[in-house]
Structure formats: structure tokens, C-alpha cells
Amino acid sequence: MQLQAFDAAAFLRDHWQQKPLLIRSPWDCWSNPVEPDALAGLACEELVQSRIITRHRQKWELEHGPFPEERFTKQSRHPWTLLVQSVDYHLAGVAALLDPFRFVPNWRVDDIMVSYAVDGGGVGPHFDHYDVFLVQGLGRRRWELGALCDDSTELMPHDHLRLLADFRPTEAWILEPGDILYVPPRVAHRGIAIGDGCMTYSIGFRAPSRAELIESWADDIVPDLSDSERYEDPHLARQDNPGEISAEAIARLHGMIAETLLDQRRFARWFGQYNTSPKNPEIDWRPDQPVQVDDIRQWLAAGTPLVRNPASRFSFIRDTASSILLFADGQCFSCIDDAADFAQSICAEARLAVAPDRSPATLELIVALFNEGSLAFDSPD
């Protein structure tokens, strides 16, 4: 599926992280990629993150999955919404929804959350810290947008839901199947299902916070630091007041930290691994039996294409003029020549035909990625 008559360059220039945009059914032919029953089935699985949010007048109730099957056969007198996270990791049809939005770098993509709501259902007025494309799958939903929010915006008293206490809509649209609404970070919004059988696909993007980056980067650095690297002041001069921490001492202490934190090459390697780490590490995607180079060569000779695991994250960074670092599911692979060409291709394409006469380094790379569950062969067997 591709977006028709959509100018990605103009969107990035005029709307991305700036202002909302309503895109009326830009598909040649919209087809809802997952049925409500299949979504409910995912919500019953142990390793799938799911929630049900129910509104009782002005009160909100949150339930966490996995849910028993009979939960979806009970009738409720109150509007409710089922939300299932990372559905693209489990269903190829949902993962394909990401393809039209590849004008945003892959490392920014988080996942696709799918919601199902009965008449009047929704999650309440809220704001997110990330960009989101809201694709209407089935039924109709009224979306209302409000002001720009920040950390001082007043929230309703609730232990687990961050709902706005005073939401005042300034714009509103009713979305039909295939319509898309782009909402930038921190813009207040509320969606309400019009009629039963309302499904929405929320394509969310990652936006790491400064605190998150510093904390995780420091956690990675500290184990490699030697306890013998200590503060030194061999040319210490006598001070008028021994209670003062001098500007020179502060500069030297700060420099000890900055020298390590400003190592950009090491930061790049760390970030590539950090950013591609599996979102659901408890799910084991590895094959039952590991393969060897000869197995890979036979599949390639048969013309069987390679496919990325939809749950895997792939990115690369240019390391030197002749080498790149490939990152897949938190692993780092240093690649040159033919292996570097393959690594860049598999980052760009979710499905890739590969000739069997690739270099030994490339074949070994494919073996490693296959045995980690990051790659598979697109074969009925």
C-alpha cells in the first residue's frame, strides 16, 4: 500500500512536529488489515501487551491483559476500548502499514497499536510525547484536537491514565475507513467511536528523552571505567580560603566526565545497539534449529527471498569511509565491502532476494541474523 497524491517532502517541511494534518483516504483501495476477532485473540495471549479502558460517566477504569476469551463475549453497559500494542510484530498485514511512512527514518518507528471500540468508546483526552499517524481501519471515529501541552498541564487524578483535566477542543473531524490524521507531539487530542466496530491503527514514533539517553548511556559506560582513573592536581596552589572549591578544580572535574561522555564514536555504537534492542525481549524469535552457511547457500540458490522479522529493528551507521556498523535487535556487526552492501539493502527492504554467490562474510552475517531470529526465509516450509 502506498499513499496517493501525498507529498512527503511538503509534509516534512510544513507539518512534521509542527501542526496536525488530515489526509482523506489516500489509498488506491483501503483494506482493513486485521479483523476484530483476530485482535481480540491477540489480547488473550500472554506475551502481548493489551489494555481495556472503560468509561463510567466521568470515571475511567483500566484493565490489563492477557484477557480470557469470555471477556469479549460479555456485554457492557458502558463504552469501552481495547488497545493492543505492537500488533505489527505479530501480523504481516499490519506491519505493511508502515511501508508508506518510510519517509521517516526506521530508527524513529516504535510500533503500531490497534484499538477496537464500541459506540462512545475512547481513551479520554490526552497528549503524547511522540508523533502519531492515526489510520481509521473500520467504522467511524470523531477526533478532537486542542492546545499544546507540557509537563505543567493539569491531569485528572488517576494512578495509571494520564488524562487531561481541562480539555477544550479547537478542531474536530470525523474519520472514515482509510482516513489518516497526523498529530504532532504534545498536541491534546481525543477520539470517540461513532457506532460499534470502530478500529484505529496508531503508528507511533520513538522520541527518547534527554533523561533516558543520559541514564542509559551512563549505565553502559560505567562498567568499563577503571577505578584507578582519579582526580589529580599535581600543581595545586595554596588557596586563601580552604573551604572554596576553585573554578580550576570544577573545570578539571567536569572535564573528567565530559571527556568520556563526548566520545561520539562510542556513543554512536551504543545508541545503535540501544535503539534496536527488542521491545519485547521475553519473546524468543530464534529458530528451533540453528543453521550453517551451507544451509543458507542452498536456500539462496533456490531463489528463496530473505525477510526481516517484523518484530526486529534494523539500522546502520557509517563507521568509516569503507565500513558500516549494522545494528539488529541490539547486536552490532562491523561490515565492509559486500557485507556492507548487503547490510544497507536489508535495512532498506523488508524482503530481499539475495544471490548465492555473496562473499563469505555476507553469508556468515546472514547466518548470525537468521539464528538470532532477525531474518527468515520467505518460504512455505
Question: If you average pLDDT over every residue of the chain, what do you get?
Answer: 94
pLDDT for 275-324, tens place per residue? Answer: 999 988 899 999 999 999 999 999 999 999 999 999 999 999 999 888 99
- Number of domains forming the structure of the chain: 3
> 21 in a domain, yes or no?
yes
Assess whether 161 and 301 both reside in one domain: no
pLDDT of residue 111: 96
The whole-angstrom separation of Cα 149 and Cα 66 is: 32
- Segment 357-374, tens digit of pLDDT: 999 999 999 999 999 999
CATH number at residue 325: 3.40.366.30
Q: Is 74's pLDDT higher than 60?
A: yes
Q: Are residues 302 and 192 in the same domain?
A: no
Find cell 577505578 and name the residue. Answer: 227
What local confidence, expressed as pLDDT, does residue 381 receive?
54
- 253 and 337 within one domain: no
Same domain? For 148 and 222 the reply is no
Separation between Cα atoms, residue 9 and residue 103, nearest integer Å? 8
CA distances from 342 to 285, 349, 351, 354 (A): 22, 10, 12, 8
**194 and 306 inside one domain:** no
Is residue 363 within 8 A of residue 293, CB to CB? The reply is yes
In terms of domains, do 102 and 178 share one?
A: yes
Whether residue 76 has pLDDT greater than 90: no
Would you state the pLDDT for residue 35?
96
pLDDT digits (tens, 9 = 90+) for 137-165: 999 999 999 999 999 999 999 888 999 99
Report residue 182 as a C-alpha cell.
Answer: 497526523
118 and 251 assigned to the same domain: no
Angle, vertex CA 252, rays to CA 249 and CA 258, nearest 5: 140
Give the predicted TM-score (pTM) of the model: 0.91
Domain co-membership, 69 together with 130: yes
The reply to whether 220 falls in a domain is yes
Assess contact for 149 and 185: CB atoms under 8 A.
no
CA distances, 177 to each of 1, 35, 139, 198, 269 (Å): 15, 13, 6, 9, 42
Q: Could you tell me where the DSSP H helices lie in 222-349?
A: 247-261, 264-276, 293-301, 337-348
Cα–Cα dist 181/175, whole Å: 8
Scan for cell 566526565, then name that residue. Answer: 257
Query: Residue 189 falls within a domain, yes or no?
Result: yes
Residue 319 lies inside a defined structural domain of this protein? yes
Whether 270 maps to a domain, the answer reads no
Bridge-based pairing of strands 187-205 and 59-64 is unpaired
| pLDDT (tens digit per residue) in 219-255 | 999 999 999 999 999 989 999 999 999 999 999 999 9
Domain membership flag for residue 159:
yes
Q: Would the pLDDT of 174 be above 70?
A: yes
Q: Give 210-221 as a DSSP string.
A: HHHHHHHHHHHH
Please check whether residue 276 lies inside any domain of the structure.
Answer: no
Using one digit for the tens of pLDDT, what is the confidence trace for 121-140?
Answer: 999 999 999 999 999 999 99
CA count, 13 A, side-chain hemisphere, 342? 27
Task: Tell whether 330 and 306 lie within a shared domain.
Answer: yes
Q: Are residues 46 and 185 in the same domain?
A: yes
178 and 58 in a common domain: yes
The whole domain housing 253 covers 210-226+247-262
Position 380 scores a pLDDT of 60
Higher pLDDT, 133 or 378: 133
Q: Give the pLDDT confidence of 84-126 residue by residue, as tens digits.
A: 999 999 999 999 999 999 999 999 999 999 999 999 999 999 9
Q: Is residue 240 part of a domain?
A: no
What confidence score (pLDDT) does residue 58 get?
Answer: 79
Task: Look up the CATH number of the domain holding residue 95.
Answer: 2.60.120.650
Per DSSP, what are the bridge partners of residue 55? Answer: 60
In this prediction, residues 194-206 reach a mean pLDDT of 97
254 & 125 share domain: no
CA separation for the pair 338, 336 (Å, rounded): 6
Taking 90 as the threshold, does the pLDDT of residue 57 lie above it? no
Between CA 151 and CA 163 the distance in angstroms is 13
pLDDT tens track for 321-339: 889 999 999 999 999 999 9
For 314, counting Cβ atoms within 10 Å of its Cβ (0-12 exposed, 13-18 middle, 19+ buried), the class is buried
